[in-house]
Amino acid sequence: MHAPNETDSCLELLESHGADVLVIPERGLIWCPNAKVGTTSMMNVLPQLIDPNAIPYTQGLLERRQITAPLDILRRHLQPGDKWRVLFAADMEKAAREELCRSGRAVTFTTVRNPWERLVSAYLGKVADGSQGNGVNTSVIRDFLGMPADKPIPFSKFLEFVSKQPDETVNVHFMPQSFRCGVGKSHYLIQSHIETSFEDDVKLILRTLGESEDLFQEDHISSTGNCALSKLCTANLEAQIGPKATWKGDGTAEIAQKLYKSRPGHDLAEIVRQRYAEDTTLLGYSWPGHFSAAP
């Protein structure tokens, strides 16, 4: 599974993205979490790699908006003495980073997603209900757009906001995957596509670490399902794509198709294509559909 240039790629990743990459040094696992791209499922797996009796992860922690940063979530599910067994790469000594990358046991991993669908998932889960927490403060979006404090944010206005934010400061849920984790640049031993290979890739990692595949239990937060449970989110979505009865059973991909067509005469998909140009080019994604037909 290891490539000849793995050591150099590993060192470059830990140097260039050390503030975002999480490391479990004793297991050799190096993971960069892209928000809205399989992070919940990974939160179920990673604590058990440190402590088989780790407290099970529950979505309720996120829903109650107590904590949202991946490192904090992981440490929340470990015993006090185990919390520092997972850390940011930037918090490791240079010699420790080099030792890990040269050891031959380092597994660098991240997951990527179609940027059009990822942005819709972020909108449904973080913006459409007008929430002030859960990782996104919607008042910042309204203030930037000059919108009244109590006005729902339509998807088209959300895209306008995202399109004008720099990579360095945009909320992590909207941050380009290529910027946050350096995807598409040969940094990773495993760069998993959430649509096609995520489960198989996580199970491969578990086997590589000598763990049972049964540790992987996919736990997906349904942004559409959560929206349908919220009166504010439902009303916002109904105003854009029609009655709840016509979309409440849809997945993110189906909702995305409708939202990108919600403003006739406006090419909303093109806004994403331009804003996330590197994600689409480096990762081979297109719209509509997951992957470009081009070689």
pLDDT digits (tens, 9 = 90+) for 144-163: 999 998 899 999 999 999 99
Residue 210 exposed, middle or buried by CB count within 10 Å (0-12, 13-18, 19+):
exposed
275 and 240 share one domain: yes
Compute how many other C-beta atoms are within 10 angstroms of the C-beta atom of residue 265: 4
Average pLDDT, the chain: 89
Q: Is the pLDDT of residue 193 over 80?
A: yes
* Beta-bridge partner residues of 32: 110
229: closest CA among 117, 63, 42?
Answer: 63
Q: What percent of the chain shows pLDDT beyond 90?
A: 71
Is the entire prediction scored with pTM above 0.85?
A: yes
Asked whether the beta carbons of 79 and 99 are under 8 A apart, the reply is no
**Whether 30 and 130 share a structural domain:** no
For residue 106, the enclosing domain spans: 6-113+176-215
**pLDDT higher than threshold 70 for residue 273:** yes
Our count of domains for the chain comes to 2
The residue written with tokens 């959560």 in the block is 226
For 55-107, write each residue's pLDDT tens digit: 766 554 333 334 357 888 888 888 899 999 999 999 999 999 999 999 999 99
DSSP annotation string for 71-119: HHHHHHTS-GGGGGGSEEGGGS-HHHHHHHHHSS--EEEEEE--HHHHH
Nearest CA among 176, 18, 201, 33 for reference residue 110: 33
Nearest to 171 by CA among 203, 139, 208: 139
Sorted by sequence, the CB contacts under 8 Å of residue 111 that are 6+ apart come out as 34, 37, 38, 42, 191, 192, 193, 194, 198, 201
Inside any domain, residue 142:
yes
In a domain, 10, yes or no: yes
Instruction: Give me the mean pLDDT over the 180-193 stretch.
Output: 94
Domain termination site, one of 165, 200, 215: 215
Q: Write out pLDDT tens, residues 219-246.
A: 666 788 888 889 999 999 999 999 999 9
